[in-house]
Amino acid sequence: MLVLLLAFWVKAMNPKRADWLLVLKELTTMESLLLAEVLEHELLEDSFEANVHDYTKPIDIYGKQKLPQKAKNANNFT
């Protein structure tokens, strides 16, 4: 469901990297458990313009949430 919502948002809003970063900032402020999932989706979006540092963030987030298996699998993008 989250993936569909994000896909709709991307199509409707045509976000830039700054927009994605604002979403991440708000989720961080809210201490949302969705933060890592949204970040993983963002890494697949061209509009996010991911850099090397961005790919380590899901691992760190899942580690802090004590979800080691998700941390281990976080960057298995195909």
Along the 78 residues of the chain, how does pLDDT read in single tens digits? 999 999 999 999 999 999 999 999 999 999 888 998 899 899 999 999 999 999 888 888 888 888 888 888 876 754
CB 58 within 8 A of CB 24: no
The structure tokens listed for 13 are 């809003």
Domain boundaries, the chain: 2-73
**Cβ neighbours of 27 (radius 10 Å):** 18
d(CA 20, CA 70) in angstroms, rounded, equals 22
d(CA 63, CA 66) in angstroms, rounded, equals 5
Q: What per-residue confidence (pLDDT) applies to 21? A: 96
- Tokens 């899942």 belong to residue: 62
Predicted TM-score (pTM) of the model is 0.81
Q: What per-residue confidence (pLDDT) applies to 78? A: 45
Q: What per-residue confidence (pLDDT) applies to 66? A: 86
